[in-house]
Amino acid sequence: MENDPDVDGGGVGDQGVDGAGDPVLRADDVRKSYGEVTALSGADLAVGRGEVFGLIGPNGAGKTTLVRALTGTTAVEGTVRVLGTAPDAVDPERVGLLPQSFDPPGRLTARELVAYYAGLYDDARDVEAVLEAVGLASDADAWYETLSGGQRRRACVATALVNDPDVLFLDEPTTGIDPAGRRDIHRVIREAAAAGVTVFLTSHAMGEVERLADRVGLIREGSIVAVGSPESLIAAHGGEPTLTLRLEGAAERDVVESGVKAVRSGTPYDARRAGTTTARGGGAAGMAGAAGAAGTTDAAGAATIEITGVPLEGIGAVVDAVTDAGVGVESASWSEPSLEDVYLELTGEAYRPAGPESGTEASTGATPEPETKAGGDSERPESTAAEGSR
Ligand SMILES: Nc1ncnc2c1ncn2[C@@H]1O[C@H](COP(=O)(O)OP(=O)(O)OP(=O)(O)O)[C@@H](O)[C@H]1O
């Protein structure tokens, strides 16, 4: 566990304790091996009532195994408590589960599927209301096998909601769903949490977790290595926001140096000079090394400087300092650290959703428009999900 004052060690904090003073979900030193493979190596966590807890981590880190441990669908060593009791002793009416892998019969309509699940409980929600909530009302009479991937996932989410659970486990709920569908599912999750439902979510979509989760746990090699609000994790592990200025005029070494000097002398930011320039921009390779801004020359030959640690409200002062020094600013781009940066820092792996979206959120620091990396809901297409690997 990360020993960071801003990042709690798996505790629930004030908001995480239910009326009885106990967390709704608790795992203490949970271990699970499949033969030689260690899936969980001492996982600890505690999640409170009405909390949305997002679990993230690389493929094979143990996310699904932890969901299985918490839902009593696999035997583990250690202590697991759900609503104060062992997972297999919890009243099923109080738990909703959307497994990562869920394959209902194709010749049931969406309505029949949800109604079937409703019939398993004494006090289920109204089927039409649940279909409406997940955005499936107009497709409710279509056979499951004719639904799109996103519609299918919505139907599956509906089956997990229909018993009006107190605890909702969603293992990759939005995989394969288009942006409109994702928004519907996000709304459903927020409404559930607002009504006091504890939501335990695993997702590869970092933007989704960042926006939805009250707290995030990062699991690596079977242990939770950091827990905290997205903001606290980003503050602790995400690095600093970066401002990139593309300077007007020829990419001469003195332009870059003037810009760097202006930033250093005219602003309070502790920028580091970390870049190099191409020969095309005036051969300023010797600039690297000192603390300050990173001066580079981009492929088009324009001078670009990069300043780290600039908050959004500090952009104007930096631009003013540079222009006051007689250096024109052609464009500015600003990026703030996101959960993806935390993921990179703590797992050593760059977060890269597979498929067409791959790499689209990578920041070169030289884009002409302001940007925030937390804006996208990148997701991993279903075809790459690891569930097929075992
Ligand atoms: N039933 C099983 N039999 C054998 N090994 C398993 C089984 N379930 C999981 N494992 C292994 O345990 C480890 C953790 O798997 P788990 O599915 O929990 O990871 P995950 O974080 O959910 O991965 P992904 O993001 O790919 O879904 C992996 O090495 C996996 O291969």
Query: Where is 185: in which H helix or E strand?
Result: helix 179-194
Q: How far is the CA of 62 from the centre of ligand 1 (A)?
A: 6
Grouping H, G, I as helix, E, B as strand and the rest as coil, residue 227 is: strand
Q: How far is the CA of 202 from the centre of ligand 1 (A)?
A: 13
pTM of the model: 0.75
Query: Where is 188: in which H helix or E strand?
Result: helix 179-194
Q: How far apart are CA 144 and CA 111, in angstroms?
A: 9
Probe ligand 1: pick from 30, 38, 55, 59, max atoms within 8 Å of CB? 59
What interface predicted TM-score (ipTM) does this complex get?
A: 0.98
Written as one letter, the residue type at 232 is: S
If you take atom 8 of ligand 1, which residue's CA is the nearest one? Answer: 65
Does ligand 1 have an atom closer than 6 angstroms to the CB of 386? yes
pLDDT in tens for each of the 390 residues of the chain? 443 433 444 444 433 444 445 799 999 999 999 999 999 999 999 999 999 999 999 999 999 999 999 999 999 999 999 999 999 999 999 999 999 888 999 999 999 999 999 999 999 999 999 999 998 999 999 999 999 888 898 999 999 999 999 999 999 998 878 888 888 889 989 999 999 999 999 998 899 999 999 999 999 999 999 999 999 999 999 998 989 888 886 556 677 888 888 889 999 875 554 333 443 433 333 333 333 455 555 555 567 788 988 999 999 999 999 999 998 888 898 999 999 999 999 988 766 554 333 332 323 232 222 223 333 333 333 222 223 233
Does ligand 1 have an atom closer than 6 angstroms to the CB of 63? yes
Does ligand 1 have an atom closer than 6 angstroms to the CB of 36? no
Query: Taking a C-beta distance cutoff of 8 angstroms, is the pair 242, 268 a contact?
Result: no
Query: Taking a C-beta distance cutoff of 8 angstroms, is the pair 40, 32 a contact?
Result: yes
What is the atom index within ligand 1 of the atom nearest the CA of 172? Answer: 27
Q: How far is the CA of 39 from the centre of ligand 1 (A)?
A: 6
What is the atom index within ligand 1 of the atom nearest the CA of 386? Answer: 26
Q: How far is the CA of 59 from the centre of ligand 1 (A)?
A: 8
- Using alpha carbons only, what angle is made at residue 383 by residues 381 and 387, rounded to the nearest 5 degrees? 105
Q: How far is the CA of 13 from the centre of ligand 1 (A)?
A: 30
Does ligand 1 have an atom closer than 6 angstroms to the CB of 64? yes
Domains (range + CATH), the chain: 14-236 (3.40.50.300), 242-336 (no CATH)
User: Pairing state of beta strands 52-56 and 198-202?
Assistant: parallel
